[in-house]
Structure 1
């Protein structure tokens, strides 16, 4: 006996410990008051391996996650280049599924160490580019203006004892969102659960475990208190745990979002998961989907001079002034959103510090003050000085008089290309094909028609498709006369009108970034896809497609790779490069072409300093070349720096 005891005590300590039976979890038995047993920080310890058992029929079901992500991406209009935070992400089921779908800029944050480690392991196993980290949603470990979208999904909102903490979460979300960023909340339907919660239930959660649940409303009826007793068939009670969730109604969550600074609060119906167990769904039984947008200024950034090599002033249109090209002559929300998308993209360009100038009353003084303090001006004032399109050339002229280098076309180049007839003349002189056309001066009442219909009627002076609508394509003399009258009366245009033969082939756009013949890139040629447009409408990309969201053109048109024959593409590119030089374009330009029924291309317009917006034709072509919006802007800057001899 002594010898046997000595042998037992000589065993390594870890082997001795295995013989000690695990202590059973303490079960509290019947309780009359569940609320008093809920710890203030219950959420810091409950999300563990047991959670994956009790809620696994929903949160560990890939089919449910895919269906939910279909809904969420649709509601948000989520784009793959957007930066997304999956807040309170759990084991990252939604983040990982987005990554599987090609979203490459997704992050997840959760308080649970167990769930975050599980998420990291799954991301590593599948090779998915999702960043996961632990953290408290009330104090997010991110600087301001980092994300386009923050999602709080799977009923992960309303865990704290006080709604003030929920408000802190929303304020933190507002802080880390970029201007015009969106939040999406998927949370319990408080009204429904308050009326329909199940006081007691039990169900099997695997072959050896079952869970018994009790629920009751809190004393103030604002939270649903839940108790879960998890029992192993052989070992007995393993867990007796309590948690609570605030029951938000649509009115309360709207109020909380607005208090946190959000606008455009929208509700998108309710959702109920299809549980494989088909039993007690608890807080997940009925959820509401809420989105909102944050409008705010960019947070001031303290530039680190040692990391900034290039100082750039960005000159833009003046949002406080009328703009005659816009539908209601004002900068609307879409315009302001576009400006903020630009600022967000430029923020991603490393090695730069940007100053924005958009107040035209003081523009001259502001530029004089910055002379010598900036390396050059990024001229994005395509609206023109004081938003007058005929004064677009005044901005580079002013910069030349002040001796400040700038991006984009010369004043002469802008003057050339503002006049469509002049561009036609230059192109014909160079041997570049143009459609047949004739000119109607403002006083003409009677005119000759030198070729047959159909024709397209355009203001000879202008850009941004000003004056070009579905009525611009005409099929008779009566329609031609009516269209000319509309351009003069409706659009207030009193300058010459250009009438061209209407070509029915592919509608093409060519983009160039750089400066021929030294160093330039021709972007993939795109064509307008009119297949979704109602057949009775003419196939043009005019004013309605660019400015009127309610028009069928806005909704139907999309740009696709052109797929041209090799010889045709080669000819178009050669002509564009020659026109770029001849018309004094610089750094970037866009060229519009149209093919006839036989596939022969004809030049329509040359656009120096073309639209720089995130969803414009230049950005679409750049994306096809593998350049996201920030990289496109950076390429324009680099082209100007090389031309100017500025070392970045």
Structure 2
């Protein structure tokens, strides 16, 4: 039996470039190379696509602060509209071997927001993760909140601020949201550009910092509660993992805590919850997954109040896959080890593509 040809797409132009490099490294170490033939495609911070070798594709690979993509002189491009040979080597004008599926382990804008998903759909290549709609919706925290709230979920109170519009004063915000409150870019993940503010000076500085990453920013109330996360896996019949709990050692679950400092937080998996509360987290995770039209995978993040009620924080459609990331750890404790999880995600992508190909695209 021939191997399944997988294209691992990683890096990207977003602020989470280095996280993606770490995720790619961990996937390459865990994937079953007897079953899958992996082609590495690294995207640099300028947006160029590089065909990489399976060794030496990262510089400083063991240092998450200094890790870099090893750029090559072999650049590639995707050509939509073909039935095959959709990926070309720009230097030689030759097509790469036909890939059976793409695993886009790209975090943040231009990777997790529907951009790459739309391109791969046009190129008729199966890909891991949610479709264009759910990727775009879940990337925008403002739109996510509106849809979840309209579907009956509780979300933290928020104010949306746009760069081109007049910004509310600190007094106006604190009167509505209380203090401290959070400032978050609407279309970033991994706590990039996020700050927790208590004073007017912190508000001015935090807003300025967040607007460096996005044209739209959320001002969000602080919810007092436990940080509980649940992983979801599947297409039409998704399943939820056992929930886990994050116990940050710092003020909040920052970028450094998530991806650089292995001692920055304790990941308690499974979370210490009653059977009733655990079931509720799982049910609410699946419901949110379905409301937002997700497929393949997502991680649903909650704040759990003292009475067990849940406030949804966000839904992440391409969560981190590093060795200290919550999504693979949740499934490992739930009975699906890392290599098997990769296998399931690839299978789900190929199954969805087959179903898409059965849809009619012309009128009799």
TM-score range for the pair, normalised by the shorter chain length: 0.7 to 0.9
Q: State the alpha-carbon separation in 2 of the partners of residues 636 and 497 from structure 1.
A: 32
Q: State the alpha-carbon separation in 2 of the partners of residues 633 and 441 from structure 1.
A: 38
Given the alignment of the two structures, is residue 432 of structure 1 paired with residue 157 of structure 2, yes or no?
A: no
Answer yes or no: is the 8 Å Cα contact 1:381–1:392 preserved in 2: no
Shift of 1:460: 1.6
| Structure 2 counterpart of 1:466 | 192
Out of 523, 540, 545, the residue aligned to residue 257 of structure 2 is 545
Given the alignment of the two structures, is residue 521 of structure 1 paired with residue 239 of structure 2, yes or no?
A: yes
Root-mean-square deviation over aligned CA pairs = 2.8
| Structure 2 counterpart of 1:364 | 78
Between structures 1 and 2, the one with greater helix share: 1
Answer yes or no: is the 8 Å Cα contact 1:349–1:631 preserved in 2: no
Shift of 1:502: 0.9
Partner SS state of residue 572, structure 1: helix
Given the alignment of the two structures, is residue 511 of structure 1 paired with residue 220 of structure 2, yes or no?
A: no
| Structure 2 counterpart of 1:410 | 131
Shift of 1:572: 2.7
Taking structure 1 as reference, are residues 620 and 416 closer, same or farther at Cα in structure 2, changes over 3 Å only?
A: same
Taking structure 1 as reference, are residues 375 and 414 closer, same or farther at Cα in structure 2, changes over 3 Å only?
A: same
Q: State the alpha-carbon separation in 1 of the partners of residues 177 and 11 from structure 2.
A: 41
| Structure 2 counterpart of 1:171 | none
| Structure 2 counterpart of 1:258 | none
Partner SS state of residue 407, structure 1: coil
Shift of 1:349: 5.4
Answer yes or no: is the 8 Å Cα contact 1:527–1:562 preserved in 2: yes
Shift of 1:335: 6.6
Q: TM-score, normalised by structure 2?
A: 0.75
| Structure 2 counterpart of 1:378 | 103
Answer yes or no: is the 8 Å Cα contact 1:512–1:589 preserved in 2: yes
Structure 1 gaps of 5+ residues are 1-306
Q: State the alpha-carbon separation in 2 of the partners of residues 451 and 357 from structure 1.
A: 44
Q: TM-score, normalised by structure 1?
A: 0.44
Given the alignment of the two structures, is residue 578 of structure 1 paired with residue 290 of structure 2, yes or no?
A: no
Answer yes or no: is the 8 Å Cα contact 1:505–1:599 preserved in 2: no
Partner SS state of residue 590, structure 1: strand
Q: State the alpha-carbon separation in 2 of the partners of residues 372 and 409 from structure 1.
A: 25
Q: State the alpha-carbon separation in 2 of the partners of residues 555 and 636 from structure 1.
A: 29
Residue correspondences, number: 308
Taking structure 1 as reference, are residues 477 and 583 closer, same or farther at Cα in structure 2, changes over 3 Å only?
A: same
Answer yes or no: is the 8 Å Cα contact 2:107–2:189 preserved in 1: no
Taking structure 1 as reference, are residues 430 and 479 closer, same or farther at Cα in structure 2, changes over 3 Å only?
A: same
Taking structure 1 as reference, are residues 400 and 494 closer, same or farther at Cα in structure 2, changes over 3 Å only?
A: closer
- Asked which structure has the greater RCO (Cα within 8 Å, sep 6+), the reply is 2
Answer yes or no: is the 8 Å Cα contact 1:393–1:411 preserved in 2: yes
Matches within 5 A, 1:390-405: 392-405=113-126
Answer yes or no: is the 8 Å Cα contact 1:503–1:597 preserved in 2: no
Q: State the alpha-carbon separation in 1 of the partners of residues 243 and 304 from structure 2.
A: 13
Shift of 1:628: 2.6
Partner SS state of residue 640, structure 1: helix
Compare CA radii of gyration and give the structure with the larger one: 1
Shift of 1:478: 4.4
Answer yes or no: is the 8 Å Cα contact 1:393–1:415 preserved in 2: yes
Matches within 5 A, 1:82-481: 307-317=1-11, 323-325=13-15, 331=18, 338-346=23-31, 348=32, 350-358=34-42, 360=49, 361-364=75-78, 367-369=86-88, 373-382=98-107, 388=110, 392-442=113-163, 443-447=165-169, 448-449=172-173, 450-468=176-194, 472-481=195-204
Taking structure 1 as reference, are residues 626 and 572 closer, same or farther at Cα in structure 2, changes over 3 Å only?
A: closer
Shift of 1:643: 3.2
